[in-house]
Amino acid sequence: MKSNWPEQRRKLKIEYERKGITSCELRLPGCMETFGMNFHHRHKRVYYIRRQELLGDFNQTILACASCHDKAEASRGLTILLFNKLRYKENV
C-alpha cells in the first residue's frame, strides 16, 4: 500500500502556516524552536495504515522541533497529554 504522506505533508504545512503555527508547539525543556521541525502524530504509524487519510489531519498532528519530537515520540503518556492540551481529547 502506497502512502500519500508526502502530499498530505505539503497540505499540512500550508494549513499550519495559515493558522500562524510556524515553530515548535511543544516547548518542552531544551526546545529547539524551529530546528529540524517535523509533524508529531497522535498515534503510532500502525494506527494510520487503514486510516491513511488521517495522516494529514490537523487534529492528528502537532508541529514539533527535533528535540521535542524525540521526547514526545518516546512517551505515549506525554503524547496523549500534549494532544489533549493542544488539540482535543480523543476517545480510543
- Considering only the stretches 3-11, 13-21, 34-42, 62-70, report the one whose residues sit in contact with Zn ion under the rule CB under 5 A: 62-70
Task: Give the separation between CA 36 and CA 4, rounded to whole angstroms.
Answer: 21
Positive or negative: CA dihedral 10, 20, 27, 80 = negative
Out of 65, 72, 82, 83, which residue is the one contacting Zn ion (CB under 5 A)? 65
31 contributes a contact to Zn ion by CB under 5 A: yes
Using the rule CB under 5 A, which residue among 24, 62, 72, 82 binds Zn ion? Answer: 24
Place of cell 531544551: 30
Question: What SS3 class is residue 92?
Answer: coil
Residues 6+ apart with CB under 8 A from 59: 42, 87, 88, 90
Residue 37 within binding range of Zn ion, rule CB under 5 A: no
Based on the shown chain and the rule CB under 5 A, indicate whether residue 55 belongs to the binding site for Zn ion. no
What's 45's DSSP letter? G
Part of the chain binding Zn ion (CB under 5 A), chosen from 6-14, 18-26, 38-46, 73-81: 18-26
Q: Residues in the site for Zn ion, rule: CB under 5 A?
A: 24, 26, 31, 65, 68
